[in-house]
Amino acid sequence: MSDREPVASAETSEAQIAVHWKEEALIHPSPRFIAQANLADPSVYERFALDNFPECFKEYADLLSWDRYWHTTLDTSDAPCWKWFVGGRINACYNCVDRHLPKYKNKAAILFVPEPEDEPLVALTYRELYVRVNEFAALLRDFAGLKAGDRVTLHMPMTPELPITMLACARLGIIHSEVFGGFSGQSCAGRIADSGSTVLITVDGYHRNGAMIDHKVNADIAVEAAGELGQSVDKVLIWQRYPGKSVSKTPLVKGRDYIVNDLLKDFAGRRVDPVSMPAEDPLFLMYTSGTTGKPKGCQHSIGGYMAYVAGTSKYIQDIHPEDVYWCMADIGWITGHSYIVYGPLALAASSVIYEGVPVYPDAGRPWRIAERLDVNIFHTAPTTIRMLRKAGPDEPAKYDYHFKHMTTVGEPIEPEVWKWYYEVVGKGEAVIVDTWWQTENGGFLCSTVPALTPMKPGSTGPGVPGIHPVIYDDDGNEIETGSGIAGNICIRNPWPGSFQTIWKDRQRYVDTYYAKYCKDPKSKDWRDWPYLAGDGATQAADGYYRILGRIDDVINVAGHRLGTKELESAALMVEEIAEAAVVPVADEIKGRTPDIYVSLKPGFEANKETEAKVVKAIEGTIGKIARPKHVYIVPDMPKTRSGKIMRRVLAAISNTLDIGDVTTLANPDVVEEIRVLVQGKEKVATKEAPEDLKRFGEEG
Ligand code: WT7
């Protein structure tokens, strides 16, 4: 541990801020777990050492069934766009469905739990999944006219039709781009346009928090807005939540909108051969927020991605075919793609899909589901754990379920929350893996390996086998291993699950993830291209990494990354607004929520209507997830002399932190005015802050 002060100053670069916390004690996995683990051989770390890179990843590729075996493990000729398992041909859908039929056709592939508790659960066997996927693939090919390489946008919630749609696309080599169901029609439009989709697949409605959501209305908004962006959508395919009965009042547009269930009648019993695809062709796009500009379409490959999610599902999630596995993420995020759909199904697991809100109708719901289905592997995010802990701290004990394994993902977990997860949810019996990774990565980067390495609350652990992290300071010097000094965490080597590029924007891919620490832009040697994750991290003496959050100004709300720039530009769509600045506020449940500060154009007066318009603009363009906690209309923004908004000052006010020295600002007096507006006249005592809030907006 370093004894440097955890305060940024002109001399301390942001990346180097030292961090102070208590080292937590290690907790060892139970012998019962070790006895059944998929990975109990400690030599795995040697097999996956850098000396054996990249050939070590053959082990993961061999978990798949190849149509034609590959000849080159890693092709670096187009660095840093890595190509894995070159020469191979494969189909992702075949690997998740067809190949399991001889042994597992009568086993549940998907267990669907509707939100209304009186609605019966649906179990889809591997055979039934095979039939549905084939019929829908036939529809996509013969009715929608889609073929390998085409992009199609999905805007679907958590029902079995979503994996059926994804797998049907994969069967034909169609690149799917699923947009989180909770995102607005506007957000969906941007992704339709960027990906060049001519077909949108959606649903009429779904249950959420006790209400029936009309979702079809978003398709109308999305298609219209995509049209304005220059992308026409000729077909909207609508799955019905209850086949034969519409739950949406929104009328169909003739010649554009089609009800999938009606069309499917013509495809009953149809079979479609899986298209044998080059391993390095794209499987899907997943858009993720960035700090600036539009969301980035992370392009994931077929062969490399499938190998990596199968490998990590087997060894880190420890999934066996006989397990009942429940990942409570949304399939609309990468976690759901990798660890609800592709990874578990590649291993012939039974994957639970829950439609609704974890605390609906009460905080016992997840544990009733776990008891009923006899779930033994559970996977969720700190934000949900915090929510369940707050709403029902004693609920888990009331239900007779037993997890052997639990996962946390998406943001740093506070040791206190980790301990509740371990002791109360896991009943002291289950191992926990704290998996650190990103949309870009396809699968886990850091985690303890259950059975092999002990757990440490609040720390993700070392790199998983084959992942070799390094922490650099801002100047590209390696921070000493195990020193506890914070810096920018990078990965030294490529890995098969990594995205291939940003869709149609290779330059942005290189600039965002590689430019900072690239040793030679002309190099074709992977050693010259460390991957910049964009997170701050420290490494303790035992080799475990602790993730500190984003080094840029993205706000992580309930595990979802929101670009502050996106929110600000949405606010600026309101006529009255002149300037907007978004800052993260610590929130007990969601981790961070955005506060937005706006100043008005001359001639306008501050009032509640304007505040409401800002909220509406943000919800309309991005979605409810981005709803600001507060909208503060301020007389002016605190600015540097060069005119940059000092977000750091605003973040300090929102979080009641020490505001620090503001005398060098162009308009220092406004700071106290804003403080009074937010905190009231009386000075309030300042609080201790998490590291990411302290560092937020440091660059001005
Ligand atoms: C960012 C990626 C792919 C997982 C879902 C989120 C943060 C993720 C952890 C963890 C601390 C974590 C990082 C990362 N993050 N997992 N276990 N501990 N922080 O995917 O939306 O692409 O966000 O989430 O800051 O960069 P994402």
pLDDT tens by residue, 28-82 = 999 999 999 999 999 999 999 999 999 999 999 999 999 999 999 999 999 999 9
Confidence band of 474 (pLDDT split at 50, 70, 90) = confident
Ligand 1 center to 404 CA (angstroms): 23
C-beta pairs of 121-124 under 8 Å, 24+ apart in sequence: 121/372, 121/373, 122/160, 124/160
Asked whether the beta carbons of 675 and 659 are under 8 A apart, the reply is: yes
Mean of pLDDT values over 484-495: 93
Report, as an integer, the average pLDDT of 462-466: 98
pLDDT at 18: 34
Using CA atoms, how far apart are residues 122 and 114, in angstroms rounded to an integer? 8
Q: What is the mean pLDDT of residues 575-584?
A: 90
Evaluate if residue 96 carries a pLDDT over 70.
yes
Q: Would you say 404 and 429 are in contact if contact means Cβ atoms under 8 Å apart?
A: yes
Share the mean pLDDT of the chain: 92
**Pocket residues for ligand 1 (CB within 6 Å)?**
288, 334-335, 409-412, 434-439, 460, 533-535, 547, 549-550, 556, 559, 561
CA 408 to ligand 1: nearest atom: 17
Pairing of strands 108-113, 350-354: parallel
What number of other Cβ atoms are within 10 A of residue 490's Cβ? Answer: 24
So what's the pLDDT on residue 567? 84
Q: Tell me 635's DSSP state.
A: S
At residue 642, the pLDDT reads 61
Contact 409, 328 (CB under 8 A): no
pLDDT, residue 17, reads 33
What is the rounded average pLDDT of the residues 650-664? Answer: 88
Structure tokens at 310: 């199968």
**Rounded mean pLDDT of 333-358?**
97
Atom number of ligand 1 nearest to Cα 549? 25
Question: What's the average model confidence in pLDDT over 327-335?
Answer: 96
Q: What is the pTM of this model?
A: 0.86
595-623: average pLDDT: 92
pLDDT for 63: 98
Distance CA 397, CA 427 (A): 8
Residue 5 has pLDDT above 60, yes or no: no
Q: Cis (ω within 30 of 0) for the bond into 361? A: yes
Q: What is the largest CA-CA distance in the chain?
A: 74
Cα separation, 398 vs 688, in Å, equals 36
Measuring CA to CA, which residue among 298, 697, 215, 220 is closest to residue 497? Answer: 298
pLDDT in tens, 303-328: 999 999 999 999 999 999 999 999 99
Measured distance CA(191)–CA(294) in Å, rounded: 9
> What is the pLDDT at residue 695?
61
Residue 344 gets which letter from DSSP? H
User: What percent of the chain clears pLDDT 70, i.e. is strictly above it?
Assistant: 94
| Lookup result for tokens 């977990």 | 413
Cα(27) to centroid of ligand 1, in Å?
A: 23
Task: Name the nearest CA neighbour of 468 among 450, 449, 495, 441.
Answer: 495
181 close to 206: Cβ distance less than 8 angstroms:
yes
Residue owning the nearest CA to atom 3 of ligand 1:
438
Number of neighbouring beta carbons within 10 Å of residue 30: 14
CA 333 to ligand 1 center in whole angstroms: 11
Rg (CA), the chain: 25
User: Which residue CA neighbors atom 23 of ligand 1 most closely?
Assistant: 438
CB-CB neighbours of 645 under 10 Å: 20
Pick the atom of ligand 1 nearest to 460's CA. Answer: 17
> Residue 492 C-alpha to ligand 1 middle, in angstroms?
19
Across 571-594, average pLDDT? 89
- Residue 303: phi, psi to the nearest 5? -70, -50
What's the distance, CA 536 to chain centroid? 18
Question: Which pLDDT does position 414 carry in this prediction?
Answer: 81
Q: Which range, of 2-11, 601-610, 612-621, averages the lowest pLDDT?
A: 2-11
Ligand 1 centroid–CA 438 distance in Å is 5
The token duo for 298 is: 């992370």
Does residue 565 have a pLDDT over 80? no
Contact (Cβ atoms closer than 8 angstroms) between residue 570 and residue 618: yes
Quote the ligand 1 centre to 226 CA distance (angstroms): 29
What pLDDT is stored for residue 1 in this prediction? 27
Question: Considering only 78-82, 289-293, 482-486, 537-541, which range has the smallest mean pLDDT?
Answer: 289-293
Report pLDDT for 351.
98
Instruction: Specify the pLDDT at position 255.
Output: 98
In this predicted structure, the answer to whether residue 291 has a pLDDT above a threshold of 50 is no
Q: What is the pLDDT, as a whole number, of residue 533? A: 96
Q: Whose CA is nearest to atom 25 of ligand 1?
A: 549
**Triad 537, 538, 540: Cα angle to 5°:** 150
Q: Which amino acid does the sequence have at 80?
A: P
In the predicted structure, residue 532 carries a pLDDT above the cut 50: yes
At 533, list the tokens.
Answer: 């994750």
CB 146 within 8 Å of CB 318: no
Give the residue, out of 535, 539, 552, with the most ligand 1 atoms within 8 A of its beta carbon, to mutate for a pocket test.
535
In 222-294, DSSP assigns E strands to 235-239, 257-259, 277-278, 282-288
Structure tokens at 543: 């080799």
Coil, helix or strand at residue 160: coil
Q: How confident is the model at residue 21 (pLDDT cuts 50, 70, 90)?
A: low
Mutate to test the pocket of ligand 1, among 327, 383, 385, 438 (most ligand atoms within 8 A of CB): 438
Residue 286 forms beta bridges with which residues? 298
What digits encode the pLDDT tens for the residues 98-130? 999 999 999 999 999 999 999 999 999 999 999
pLDDT at 3 over 90: no
Q: What pLDDT is attached to residue 697? A: 60
The residue whose CA has the least distance to atom 20 of ligand 1 is 438
- Look up residue 658 and give its DSSP letter: -
Average pLDDT of the segment spanning 194-223: 97
Q: Is the pLDDT of residue 517 over 90?
A: yes
CA dihedral (515, 521, 526, 528) in degrees, to 10, reads: -80
pLDDT at 653: 95
Pick from 332, 282, 283, 337: nearest CA to 313:
337
CA distance 28 to 31: 9
- Is pLDDT above 60 for 621? yes
Burial of 331 (0-12, 13-18, 19+ CB in 10 A): buried
Which residue's CA is minimally distant from atom 19 of ligand 1? 411
Residue 553, pLDDT score: 62
Digit-coded pLDDT (tens) for 373-388 = 999 999 999 889 988 9
Mean pLDDT over residues 516-545, rounded? Answer: 95
Percent of the chain with pLDDT over 90: 78
All residues at 6 or more sequence positions from 97 whose CB lies less than 8 Å from its CB, including other chains: 109, 126, 129, 130, 133, 167, 345
